[in-house]
Amino acid sequence: MSVTNLKTNMDHWQQREDLAAAFRWAARFDLHEGVANHFSLAVNDDGTQFLMNPNQWHFSRIKASDILEIDGNDPETLNKPDAPDPTAWGLHGGVHRHCAHARCVMHVHSVYATVLASLQNSTLPPIDQNCAIFYDRIVVDEQYGGLAFEDEGERCAQLFTDPKKKVMVMGNHGVLVIGSSVADTFNRLYYFERAAQTYIKALQTGQPLRVIPHDIAEKTAQQIEAYPETEDRHFQELRAILDEEKSDYSS
| Structural domains of the chain, ranges and CATH numbers in brackets | 3-244 (3.40.225.10)
pLDDT on residue 128: 98
Q: Regarding predicted confidence, which is higher, 1 or 142?
A: 142
Buried b / exposed e across 94-125, counting CB within 10 Å, b at 16+?
Answer: bbbbbbeebbbbbbbbbbbbbebbeeeebebb
Question: How does residue 42 score in pLDDT terms, banded at 50, 70 and 90?
Answer: very high
User: End-to-end distance of the chain based on CA atoms, in angstroms?
Assistant: 9
pLDDT on residue 130: 98
**pTM summary value:** 0.95
**pLDDT per position as a tens digit, 102-159:** 999 999 999 999 999 999 999 999 999 999 999 999 999 998 888 877 788 888 889 9
**pLDDT per position as a tens digit, 216-225:** 999 999 999 9
**pLDDT per position as a tens digit, 144-179:** 888 877 788 888 889 999 999 999 999 999 999 999
Largest CA distance in the chain: 59
88 C-beta neighbours (distance < 10 Å), count: 26
Distance separating alpha carbons of residues 248 and 251, to the nearest angstrom: 6
